[in-house]
Amino acid sequence: MERNTEKNIRLKVQEAEQYPVRWNKDELWARMEIHRTATRSKRPVYFSIAATLTVAVLAGVYIYQQTSYTQGKAIPSGGINSAQPAIVNSPLSESKDIPAKIETVTPGNAITQNSARIRIEEEPYSSAAALQATFRDTATVANQETTTSVTIPESPQQQVVTDVDKRPKVIIGIIPPQEQPLVTQQEKNKKFRFLKGKSTNGESEGSQLIIARMN
């Protein structure tokens, strides 16, 4: 009985829903068309924006890589260093290129034993030299009035730390020996005396600490 009642109601409702009704049928279709057209027309815009962003990102990455490569490779070893020779941390065989204003004070071994003497020589930076350096490497030196270069010895191997800013420059260079043989305390004492002024051949055996300061 209950089932039949519910079935009758269901059929009545379905019958009622078959009746035509006046409502905004065409307007609703027009709204749907506008919505669908707008959705379709947005797709090319999204694609073009995505493509533009992709190209821009790829171009940026490419330019960044090229710039990094140029900065790492294209600066000649003699570029800045030729304008300011004190930066050069030359091996021992090239120590004769060091300007006269840089003074060799003590060998490398002596530094580690806290017996080195460091002499700092201050000289005003020559305007003529600065002008010459500007002509040599305008791009690098033009915006820098002073340069500070520091070399910190930690091992017999060469290590160069370069700091460039606008403060008065201090240039410190260490020229380690090519190879450091193991020496006894007695030999070290001999070398110390040798470096104190008993050398006759003009060549040092240990590292050279070079400190120069320029305005």
Query: Restricting to residues 65-94, which ones interact with another protein according to CB under 8 A?
Result: none
- Quote the least distance from Cβ 3 to another protein, whole Å: 11
Place of tokens 């370069």: 162
Strand partners, 210: 173
Q: Quote the tokens at residue 73.
A: 């490779």
Phi, psi at residue 143, to the nearest 5°? -95, 10
Q: Which is nearer to another protein, 28 or 61 (CB)?
A: 28
Cβ pair 175, 77 in contact under 8 A: no
- Contacts with another protein by CB under 8 A: the residue count is 27
What DSSP line would sit under 95-118, residue for residue?
GGGS-TTS-----HHHHHTT----
Judged by CB, which is closer to another protein: 15, or 203? 15
Measured from the CB atom, the residue of 9 and 118 that comes closer to another protein is 9
36 binds another protein (CB under 8 A): yes
Q: Does 15 bind another protein (CB under 8 A)?
A: yes
* Range in contact with another protein (rule: CB under 8 A) among 32-40, 78-86, 93-101, 104-112: 32-40
CA-based max dimension of the chain: 130
Rounded to an integer, what distance in angstroms lies between the CA atom of residue 155 and that of residue 188? 17
* 6 contacts another protein (rule: CB under 8 A): yes
Residue in 22, 43, 73, 96 binding another protein, rule: CB under 8 A: 22
* Rounded distance between C-alpha atoms, residue 191 and residue 210, angstroms: 18
Positions that interact with another protein (CB under 8 A): 1, 4-6, 8-10, 12-25, 28-29, 31-32, 35-36
